[in-house]
Amino acid sequence: MTHNSTAWKWLVTALVFSQLHDEETISRKIKQLGSESFQEREAATKWLWNCPEAEASLQKALTTADLEVARRVNLILDEFQRLKLKDLQAAIKQGSLDRAIWLLAKWPKGKQEDAVWEIAKDLATKFMELHKKEGADYTGGGFSKEPIVPVVISAERIWHCVKGPRAFVFMRAGKVSFNDADSLNIRIICASDSVGIGGSILSRNFVFAGGPVELNGTTFINHIVVSYGKVELYGDMNNSLIIARDNILLQGRVSNSRIISAKSVFYEKSMASNCVITENESHPLGYVRFGDVPRKGPAVPPKSDPAKK
């Protein structure tokens, strides 16, 4: 069989599969969950079990479903979450953090919260340990071995920060942007898109972003930032780790920190002390996998950026 005929066969199979999982068929299968026939209910359940595309429709069905349909819908949705949990664990193990960040950011509130918090906490701990292994004197400390119940904030967009008594905060969103952060809370922030953090003296934020990150404040201490976009720092930073797939801009004094970019780092040499700054690194810390990083000519900082030394 030729390459072209194999590709054509694969395309036909994919088209047939997509047609089998169209919205009309999904809607019909959901209705069959309440069928008077036990065999039909079971068949519909098994079919939907293998159709992750049905998740949104199943969520909607919960609001109007009778008890039997609701019971089966919940079973199917629980199975979807179990499979997502395995996918998340596999992505983190492989260093495919773009996938892991997306799953964490989109994780529905109230679903296996304990398990997904432990995974996020372990991910933050992993970066602390890798940072130390490379010689960093990271003083941020680890997480307590005692059970931690975080304050969970899950939304498409998060514009404000939890303030008050010291607490662990777990933020999950498409975009995160706030300028009212304090140093009392320890945050794990997972965003599928951009993150912007502002405040005065900020300590121990763990940021995992699928897009760009901007840190704008007086001083950032004990921060770990992993971004699949660019990172811009406006302020001083100490004892921290920044990893980015795109360029990194440092506008402030940076000390005792590790800065890693798959492209370029723009900074003033006189403003960096006791730092390890690495460029053109597609496999940071031997763990994160950025893959091929597109380059279009030489990396040139914006005119307002400091000269790269």
Q: What is the CATH number of the domain that holds 23?
A: 1.25.10
Residue 21 belongs to a domain = yes
Q: Is the pLDDT of residue 296 over 70?
A: no
Residue 153's nearest CA partner among 113, 98, 115, 119 is 113
Summarize the confidence of residues 90-116 as an average pLDDT.
93
| Claim to verify: residue 208 and residue 132 sit in the same structural domain | yes
Is residue 200 included in any domain, yes or no?
A: yes
Looking at the predicted structure, is the pLDDT value of residue 213 above 60? yes
**Do 73 and 177 lie in a common domain?**
no
Do 122 and 231 lie in one domain? The reply is yes
pLDDT at residue 5, rounded to an integer? 52
**What percent of the chain is predicted at pLDDT more than 90?**
53
What pLDDT was estimated at residue 302?
Answer: 47
Q: What is the pLDDT of residue 307?
A: 38
Average pLDDT, the chain: 85
Residue type, 180: D
27 and 136 both lie in a single domain: no
pLDDT band at residue 298 under the 50/70/90 scheme: very low
Residues 200 and 220 sit within 8 Å (Cβ to Cβ): no
302 found inside a domain = no
Question: Radius of gyration over alpha carbons of the chain, in Å?
Answer: 23
- Residues near 128 by Cβ (< 8 Å), separated by ≥ 6? 138, 140, 142, 224
Instruction: Identify the domain containing residue 34 by its residue range.
Output: 3-94
Q: What are phi and psi of 89, to 5 degrees?
A: -60, -40
In the chain, the percentage of residues whose pLDDT exceeds 70 is: 83
Q: What is the three-class DSSP state of 78?
A: helix
Q: State the pLDDT at residue 141.
A: 62
Whether 185 maps to a domain, the answer reads: yes
Q: Is the dihedral of CA 134, 136, 137, 140 positive or negative?
A: negative
**Does one domain contain both 87 and 198?**
no
Do 141 and 44 sit in the same domain of this protein?
no
Number of domains in the chain: 2
**Is residue 202 in a domain?**
yes
Distance, CA of 117 to CA of 123 (rounded, Å)? 10
pLDDT band per the 50, 70, 90 thresholds, residue 163: low
Tell me, yes or no, whether 81 and 138 share the same domain: no
Is there a domain that residue 199 lies in? yes
Model pLDDT, residue 309: 40
278: left (phi over 0), alpha (psi -120 to 50) or beta: beta
What gap in Å lies between CA 103 and CA 91, rounded to an integer? 9
140 and 90 in a single domain? The answer is: no
Least-confidence region, from 50-54, 87-91, 218-222: 50-54
Regarding whether 69 and 207 lie in a shared domain, the answer is no
Query: Is 295 inside any structural domain?
Result: no
Euclidean distance between CA atoms 119 and 81, whole angstroms: 14
The CB-based long-range contact list for 256-262 (8 Å cut-off, 24+ gap) reads 256/136, 256/137, 258/131, 258/134, 258/136, 260/284, 260/285, 261/231, 262/290, 262/293
Q: Which residues pair with 154 in a beta bridge?
A: 172
Cα–Cα distance, 208 to 229 (Å, whole number): 11
* Residue 247 pLDDT: 98
Pairwise CA distance, residues 213 & 200, whole Å: 17
Most confident of the ranges 26-30, 77-81, 159-163, 235-239: 235-239
Kindly state whether residues 136 and 256 are assigned to the same domain: yes
CA angle 195–308–297, rounded 5-degree value = 80
Domain boundary among 42, 59, 94: 94
CA–CA dist 223, 208 (Å, integer): 11
> Do 238 and 204 form a contact (C-beta atoms < 8 A)?
no
249 or 66, which is more confident? 249
Residue 305 has pLDDT above 60, yes or no: no
Domain shared by 161 and 275, yes or no: yes
Higher pLDDT, 262 or 66: 262
What type of residue sits at position 89?
Q
The tokens for 256 are 């005792």
Q: 129 and 232: one domain? A: yes
Tokens of 203: 């300590």
Query: Is 292 inside any structural domain?
Result: no
